[in-house]
């Protein structure tokens, strides 16, 4: 049975840790689908530490945009994270919000067709003030609209606040 879970919150709120714990509670060998583009050495080191922390029971896949290239039927997958995934669309499409959103929605729909458990991690970047930077405002719009789209499709949505999970949607029992 297909299930979509969205875990959202601010930076360092515990989203990835919660997603990994949840995945391991559902499968002895979950998949970690990393969407990050490695921009610099500091970020490469951050990724290495994440991989090291996860351990050998994980199947690690790196995919910057085309998630649907990977058949995840029957698996439990952590997709970390929507923010970095959208960044890849945003820069590939010259900051065109509408085109990036259209492509990301289509890819999300295609990727989540097979029966699997999908655990998406995303950031709530729009909780702060409005940026003075036009590009940042455009990206915040893109992120907010995509988060809303995923949340509308999700069976469960969890908001992480200071390491504490708050379930804000749970339709998993209403099937």
What is the pLDDT, as a whole number, of residue 173?
62
Low-confidence stretches of the chain (pLDDT < 70) are 173-175
Rounded Cα–Cα distance for residues 28 and 55 (Å): 12
Q: What is the dihedral of CA 20, 78, 27, 167, to 10 degrees?
A: 70
CB 115 within 8 A of CB 156: no
What is the pLDDT, as a whole number, of residue 2?
95
37 is catalytic: no
Measure the N-to-C terminal CA separation of the chain; round to a whole number of Å: 10
Which candidate, 2, 33, 7, 1, places its Cα nearest to that of 151? 7
What is the pLDDT, as a whole number, of residue 112?
98
Distances (CA, A) of 105 to 43, 85, 88, 150, 174: 27, 12, 14, 8, 25
Half-sphere exposure for 88 (CA within 13 Å, toward CB): 19
What is the pLDDT, as a whole number, of residue 65?
95
What is the pLDDT, as a whole number, of residue 121?
97
Rounded Cα–Cα distance for residues 111 and 120 (Å): 12
Q: Tell me which of 50, 70, 105, 138 is the catalytic residue.
A: 50
Rounded Cα–Cα distance for residues 81 and 61 (Å): 13
What is the pLDDT, as a whole number, of residue 132?
79
Rounded Cα–Cα distance for residues 132 and 134 (Å): 6
What is the pLDDT, as a whole number, of residue 50?
77
91-121 per-residue burial string, b: 16 or more CB within 10 A, e: under 16: eebeeebeebbebbeebbeebbeeebbbbbb
What is the pLDDT, as a whole number, of residue 102?
98
What is the pLDDT, as a whole number, of residue 90?
97
């Amino acid at each position: 049975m297909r299930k979509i879970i969205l875990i959202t919150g601010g930076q360092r709120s515990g989203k990835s840790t919660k997603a990994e714990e949840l995945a391991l509670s559902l499968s002895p060998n979950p998949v970690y689908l990393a969407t990050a583009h490695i921009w610099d050495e500091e970020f490469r080191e951050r990724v290495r530490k994440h991989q090291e922390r996860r351990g050998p029971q994980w199947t690690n896949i790196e995919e910057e945009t085309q998630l649907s290239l990977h058949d995840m039927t029957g698996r439990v997958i952590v997709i970390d994270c929507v923010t970095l995934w959208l960044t890849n669309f945003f820069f590939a499409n010259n900051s065109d919000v509408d085109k990036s959103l259209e492509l990301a929605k289509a890819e999300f729909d295609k990727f989540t067709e097979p029966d699997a458990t999908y655990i998406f991690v995303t950031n709530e970047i729009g909780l702060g003030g409005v940026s003075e930077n036009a590009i940042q405002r455009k990206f915040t719009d893109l992120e907010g609209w995509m988060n809303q789209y995923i949340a509308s499709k999700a069976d469960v949505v969890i908001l992480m606040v200071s390491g504490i999970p708050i379930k804000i949607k749970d339709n998993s029992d209403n099937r």
